[in-house]
Each structure stands twice: as structure tokens, then as C-alpha cells.
Amino acid sequence: MSPIYLVYPNFLTFMDKAEKSVGKLSGTVKSGYFTIRLTDPSVERGAYIKVKHEVYGWVLARIEAMRRFLDDFDDEETMAEARTIGYRDGRNIYFPKTPFRPESEVFRADTSLITSVLGLSQSSEGKGIYIGFLEGHSIPVFLDVEKTIGKHVSVLAKTGAGKSYTVAVILEELLKANVAVVVIDPHGEYRTLGEENDEYDLMMKYGVKAHSYADVLTEYAVNTTINEGAKKIALPSTFDLMELAEIMPMKLGDRQQSILYNVLKDLEGRQYTLEELIKSVGEEPNPSAWKVLSGLESLRDSGLFEGNPIDYKGLVQPGKISLINLLGSDPQIQQIVVAKVVKDLFDLRREGAIPPLFFLIEEAHNFCPERGFGDVVSSSILRTAAAEGRKFGFRLCIVSQRPARVDKNVLSQCNTQIILKVTNPNDLRAISQSIEGFTAGMENDIKQLAVGHALIVGESVEQPLIVDVRVRETRHKAGSAVKKPRPQETKPPLERLQRKPRRRRNPFWDWILRLFIREKKPQSKRKAVKQEKSGDKPAEDDVSP
């Protein structure tokens, strides 16, 4: 008996260490997609799984959709649709050329396989943008800084999905990476980067420490009455003809542009103020100068060109962030500020006069709208910066809650997209047109994302990833989508979930019950009246209770 006793515990140990199957492949199996009959009720949509291929070994896949139903025997079954991701061989990820064998066992993917195939293992060892955890796992996701921002990036979401929160996380990481950052902030949302976060439980969960970036943050504003503590922004009054013609409040004809050209040519080569420009135009004898004069006076009255002009070399410094707070200013004034600042910084960067920078534009649909939604003074220069900026180290970040209203040429230039929850069909269509290889599965993911979760696609990741964005190091502005612990109920529900109905009674047993058990029926009123007229007393069994 002793030999059996010695072997038995070892057998139990082996069984404990063996992986537990969560289901089997069902039906027709294709190399890209397959169906699973699940046996583990804890498996959720979005879970990473693995299947053993007879040639390629373990292959990673992801569950895209799930459904529950009753089979022919009234037993509940759960079926899942999975998408094959691939397997890693050396430095590259390969897609299996032949499908899996039918009825193959399916297992939960282990951390090492996930990090290897998704390309997360190397990123976590080095420095990068710590964006959060892979959804459903405690695997940190790091994005390479240069791959993420080098060829422009977009952050898109519906209102309240956590867009500004995600942007703030990215800004914190870029400052730690010594990147020069300039932010167009229409609502003053990012001034709290100078204040520490106090959500200690969440920070412990994500491995984050509270931090303030007040020492590297400078805030500029058009309206310093509303935005206390901000520096008054004054724009340089030096222009070229096309720039000045675009920011004028009215469209100039050929004659007016000719007058401007002659005046600017006379002032070329020296610093001049807007007042001097107005004086020079006023000296022109041509009557067409009056329209030019009226436009220049409107620019002067805006107050944007009063005082000492902003020092662009001080605005753009490695490891520092400059906020241009536009809260409380007129939309047309905001557009002039964006047009002038982008034009000047782009020219300076092209000349090598300032270091490479990350230029972020919140509410981008107001500054580079899609044709058909209007044309504003900042549209032209932003199209140019999107098309040519990557060559000169002028990295754009387009942030919007209305992707359909952003210029499609600008949006399509962003090689990394960070997309939070979006449900509007027009916005989803605009996103799909800007992403190469966009699939129906991605669209479903985007529509069902929880607040604070983001789909990341593009050059910064080897495979599309859904990330639970980490908590901020800095305080978040009240009134926006705030990072909170997400309980189980926020998980996406099963598609086409059918409630399990009560089991139908067997007709045979119903017939048996009716045959042997006769129910007592209450006496009707008509029968009671008839008995009363005849003088008969009803039997006790006929009396209703």
C-alpha cells in the first residue's frame, strides 16, 4: 500500500499545477476567428486566452463577444467569439497560417504570454509613458515616448468619458521625460497640475505617488481677471502678408492685400508695433486702405498685441509646461491666439531656434473644424503643422469630444490614437476613417468602454490595447469625470444576454395531476340563487369559503 500512498500525493500536486481549461473550440474554426463553448462562468468579454496550435505552439487570442442561450435540453450554455492575435517568434509577431484543431482546449492566457505577444515586457523594463494597467490585469502598460508623440497623437472621447483626465496623465509622464509642453486650454482644466492628488488608496493601487508640477508650470491667459495668478499673454505684432490676411476679422480683396504687402515690405527687417502698422496704412492715399485700417484697429482693440510680447524661447523649455488659458475670452480671440502662436512656434522650430515640443490643443474641433462646419483663422496653419510638423519636431496632440467635427486631414495625420468611450455614429465613422485596419470589433469595444478606460491603437503599440488609465499624481479639476474605483458592475455585459426562463412543465405530468386531483370550484352566484328559490340548502361542500 505504501507505494500507492507515495504516488497519490504527487498526482494531486500535479493536478493542482495543471492549467484548468475554460472551454473548447466549437463549430467551424478559422485561423482569424473561432467560437468557444465556455465552461468557466468567470470568463468575461475582453479576456485574453490561449490555444495550443499543433505547429506554432501557444497562440494568444482575445474574446470579442459572448452570448448565452438555452439548448434543446433547456440547459444553459455560453458561447464566445474570439479573435486570434498571434504568437511571437523572436522579435516579430506572426499570425497562424492554419486554423486550430476542432475541439481544442482553451485556457486563460498567462502574464508572460500576454506581455510577450503584446510587446509589453520590453516597455515595462525601460522608461516610457506609464498610462495604466492592461484591462482586466495588473500588467502595467508603458508607451514609448518617441513612438507615441513623434508622429502626432489624438485623444478622442465623448463628454464625461475621462478624456481630460487621460490627457493630464500623459502630460505628467511627458514632464518626467523632460519634454517641452505647450497646452491650449480653453477651459482652464490643467492648472491643477500644480496641485497634489490626495486619492491615496487609488495611488497605492496603481503604484503612483502624489506630486505637484507647480515648479515647472507657467500659466498665461488672455483674461487675467477670471484666471487669477496667470500671466497676461501679449502676442508679437510682426506678421507676414498671408498670416495677417487670415487673422483679419474681414476678408480682404486683392487691392487691400496689395496695400498690406507694400506696408509690410517697408517695415521689413525691424521690430514694429501694431500701432505703427496702423499708422503706416493710414498714410496710404488709396481709398481701399480704409477697410484694411478698420481690420487692424479691430485687432488692436482685442488687446492681444498690447504690452511686451511673449518670449517664445521661455515658453518652450524641456521638462516644463506652458498653459495658454483661454477661459473667459471670445471664440474669435481664442482662434487668433492659436493661429498666431502655432505659426510663430512652427517657424521657430523649423529654424531650430527652439527645442522640439509637444503642442496639445483641447477642443480641437473649434480650432481646426472639418470643412462644412465652418472655417476659422487657425485652420490653415494647423493643417500645415499636422502635415509637416513631424519633420521638424513639432508634435501635435489633437483632443476633442467631437471627432466628426475635426478636420479629417489633421486627424488622419495622428499615428497614435487614444480613444475613450464614443457612441455617436458620426464620431465613430470619423474615427474609423482615421485609423488604418479599423474593425467592427474595435467599434464595439469603443462603444462599451467604461469611464477611464481607453483603446490605444497606432504606432506606439504593437497590438491594439484596452487600458485602465492610471490615477493622476496631481489633483483633478472638480466637475469632470473623476477616477474612481470601478466595481464589478462596470464590466461590459454579455451581448444578447437572455434571461433563463422558468422550465416548462411536462404535459404528461399535468394530465396525471388533472386526472387524480380534482380541485374544488367555488359555488357560482347563479347556482346559489336557484337553490334559494327551491328551498334547498346547499351542501357544505358547495359553500364558498
What structural domains does the chain harbor?
2-118 (2.40.30), 123-233+310-490 (3.40.50.300), 241-294 (no CATH), 515-542 (no CATH)
Residue 312 has pLDDT above 90, yes or no: yes
Helix (H) or strand (E) holding 166: helix 163-176
Residue linked to cell 464566445: 80
Rounded CA-CA distance 497/267 in Å is 73
Q: List, in sequence order, every residue forming a beta bridge with 50; answer none if it has no partner.
A: 60, 107
Residue 510 has pLDDT above 70, yes or no: no
Residue 545 has pLDDT above 60, yes or no: no
pLDDT one-digit tens code per residue, 101-146 = 999 999 999 999 999 999 885 444 456 899 999 998 999 999 999 9
Please give the distance of CA 335 from its chain centroid, rounded to a whole number: 25
In this predicted structure, what is the pLDDT of residue 218?
A: 97
pLDDT one-digit tens code per residue, 14-53 = 333 457 899 999 999 998 999 999 999 999 989 999 999 9
Q: Could you tell me which of 211, 247, 187 has the C-alpha nearest to residue 399?
A: 187
User: In degrees rounded to 5, what are phi and psi of residue 439?
Assistant: -120, 165
User: In degrees rounded to 5, what are phi and psi of residue 424?
Assistant: -65, 125
Is residue 107 exposed (0-12), middle (13-18) or buried (19+ Cβ within 10 Å)? Answer: middle
In this predicted structure, what is the pLDDT of residue 121?
A: 56
In this predicted structure, what is the pLDDT of residue 478?
A: 57
Residue 329 or 485, more confident: 329
Please give the distance of CA 76 from its chain centroid, rounded to a whole number: 36
Rounded CA-CA distance 18/6 in Å is 19
Provide the pLDDT confidence category of residue 505 given band limits of 50, 70 and 90: low
Residue 163 has pLDDT above 50, yes or no: yes
In this predicted structure, what is the pLDDT of residue 352?
A: 95
DSSP state for residue 541 in the 8-state scheme: G
pLDDT one-digit tens code per residue, 48-83 = 999 999 999 999 999 999 999 988 787 889 999 999
pLDDT one-digit tens code per residue, 372-390 = 777 889 999 999 999 999 9
Is residue 120 exposed (0-12), middle (13-18) or buried (19+ Cβ within 10 Å)? Answer: buried
pLDDT one-digit tens code per residue, 172-223 = 999 999 999 999 999 999 999 999 999 999 999 999 999 999 999 999 999 9
Rounded CA-CA distance 14/109 in Å is 19
Q: List, in sequence order, every residue forming a beta bridge with 76; answer none if it has no partner.
A: 70
| Span of 263-267, 347-351, 362-366, 405-409 with lowest mean pLDDT | 263-267
Q: Read off the pTM.
A: 0.81
pLDDT one-digit tens code per residue, 389-433 = 999 999 999 999 999 999 999 999 999 999 999 999 999 999 999
Where are the alpha helices (H) located in 352-411, listed in sequence order?
379-392, 408-411
Is 102 strand, coil or helix?
coil
Residue 496 has pLDDT above 80, yes or no: no
